[in-house]
Chains A and B, each alone.
Chain A
Amino acid sequence: MNDPTSIRPPRPFRLRAVLPDLCLLAAMPLLVYSVHRVFIDTPNEQTMGTAFKIFFFHVPMGWLCMLMALVAGVAAGVQLRRRSRLAGCVALAAAEVGFVTGLGVLLTGPIWGRATWGTPWTGDARQVTTALLWLVIVAYLLLRHYGPRTSDRLAAALAIFGAVNVPIIYYAVKLWKTLHPSTGVVGSLPPEMWATFWPGLGALILCSLGLFGLRVRQLVIAEELDAAWVQLDERSQST
């Protein structure tokens, strides 16, 4: 990586190199199957009716957003501790996927809330903490893209604070009085809904992992290119 001539394109037939593409390929049919199951095969919930179907997308996206925030926080910690470029790329990619899934949660949640509670936003603890996590992710991305030269370290600290928010979101429904369904709602699903939930979760996990892997690869290549440019620049200045 120190010598620009040593940068080589990723080898296309290594499993690690094609894993993100495989994830995305596997996600496509699973997503179609999952949508079919949600809207055609699964009966409506007795009290919430059709609105409950949003649950099959809302919950997996919520879990993925929290997972990606945790990954970003841990990678940022490694980046700070070991000055690892790869960890910096992983943190940024995780934050970008977390941004998309978080946006999905914040859009689907109010639609579901409006249909079941009569209001899109009750301001309860889980809604507020999720919105805050998403804002921290946005701040992290803004800092990584537009920050000054030393902002990588600062952004890493921000990602760590974002990861600390994750357990607070998870336990928010237990700690405070809230209208939001509790953490055990998935376990209490009837068998036919249970059978619909897992394919959807699997499809979204595969899709997120695929995008995450692709983005990490892209960022690592960009970092290597940047390092090559720095070396070329230094070499040209010294000669």
Chain B
Amino acid sequence: MRLLRQAALLLRSELRQELRDFELVLTAGFFTVVLLAMFYLSFASLQQRAHLGAIPGLMWLTIAFVGVLTLTRVFDREREADTLRALLAAPVDRLAIYVAKAAMTLAVLMICCAVLVPGLWLIFPAGAAFAAAPGSTALLALLGCAGYVAIGTLFAAGLATGAGKNTLLFVILYPLTTPVLMYALVTTRALLDGDPALPSYLGQMAALDVILFAAACLLFETVLVGAAGPRRSSSSARRARPSGQVPRDMSREPAP
């Protein structure tokens, strides 16, 4: 209960910050519209049969791109104000930080889905299946985005605590989230085809999400702050050591 209350407080703070300038929603929403326009220009002339194959891929590629943008911005705000350090030092359960950030990212991605899915339906007539099953579509979007956010928040937080190199999020996130996105893709295809096995696919996606959230919760604190006190890493040595120089002390014989 304490964890949930802390997570709700942090989420409220995130939402308040977002409501001040709508930065995340506007940038992610605009990026979604730009991607939709590019998809329209690239694929609208294809035959309707090809649309059925293309829609799931376009939908989840958009989520993958928008997700990275959102995750980067969610943690960049903390980095710019150096508030993540303060949050970690505060008497707050670290897991509450993860839950709040994940919930915020999920909320932004769901808003993007609210633009993306009708957009795909407008551009590609084959997307009418989304309108025919709005409940399943919403559940599919929620489960797909939740799996992506579960892993994404963990690694975005880990990168946010380091100096720079946020671009590596792309390198880490895409190989790791591919299974979730592939599952979402197969389920979307089942939804568009009217496959009776759709509830089973959705159940499997939910199970995968639970596993990913559990793994991310277990690893979050260790990844963010480590298991014990700080120690200087090899990169400290790289900074300390001028290139090509050998310490004189190394040539000495070991003390008896």
Contacts and interface: CB of A to CB of B under 8 A. Distances in A.
B162 interface: yes
A25 B175 CA distance: 36
Contacts of A147: 159, 162, 165, 168
Contact of B168 (A8, A146, A156, A230): A146
B136 interface: no
| A82, A136, A168, A232: most-surrounded residue (chain B CB, <10 A) | A232
Majority SS of interface residues in chain B? helix
Contact of A143 (B154, B171, B179): B171
A8 B254 contact: yes
Q: Which 9 A-B pairs have the closest CB atoms?
A: A148-B162, A226-B237, A233-B240, A135-B175, A154-B158, A226-B234, A229-B237, A150-B162, A229-B241
A16 interface: no
Interface residues of B, number: 43
Contacts of B175: 132, 135-136, 138-139
A153 interface: yes
Contacts of B222: 80-81, 153, 157
Contact of B250 (A4, A83, A128, A143): A4
Given A149-B162, A154-B159, A230-B236, 13 more contacts: A80-B222, A81-B222, A132-B175, A149-B235, A151-B158, A153-B223, A157-B222, A168-B179, A227-B237, A228-B250, A230-B232, A232-B249, A233-B237
Interface stretch (A35-43, A95-103, A158-166, A210-218): A158-166
B163 to A, nearest CB: 5
A123 B194 CA distance: 23
Interface in A1-34: 3-8
B228 interface: yes
Contacts of B236: 149, 226, 230
B158 A153 contact: yes
B247 A154 contact: no
A229 to B, nearest CB: 4
B215 interface: yes
Interface in B215-256: 215, 219, 222-224, 226-228, 231-238, 240-241, 247, 249-250, 252, 254-255
A115 interface: no
B164 interface: yes
Contacts of B240: 229-230, 232-233
Contacts of A228: 247, 249-250
Contacts of B226: 80, 83, 153
Contacts of B250: 4, 7, 225, 228
Contacts of A151: 158-159, 162, 165, 168
Interface of B: 151, 154-155, 158-159, 161-165, 168, 171-172, 174-176, 178-179, 182, 215, 219, 222-224, 226-228, 231-238, 240-241, 247, 249-250, 252, 254-255
Given A161-B176, A229-B247, A5 B223 contact: no
A222 interface: yes
Nearest to A129: B179
Contact of A4 (B178, B238, B247): B247
A156 to B, nearest CB: 8
Interface residues of A, number: 45
Contacts of A143: 168, 171-172
Given A6-B255, A154-B159, A225 B237 contact: yes
A233 B241 CA distance: 8
Contacts of A195: none
B206 to A, nearest CB: 18
Given A5-B252, A136-B176, A154 B155 contact: yes
Nearest to A7: B250
Nearest to A156: B223
A153 B222 CA distance: 7
B219 A160 contact: yes
A84 to B, nearest CB: 10
Nearest to A151: B162
B227 A80 contact: yes
Given A151-B162, A157-B158, A230-B240, A5 B176 contact: no
A135 B176 CA distance: 8
Nearest to B224: A153
A142 B164 CA distance: 15
Contact of B234 (A3, A146, A148, A222): A222
Nearest to A134: B175
A229 B245 CA distance: 10
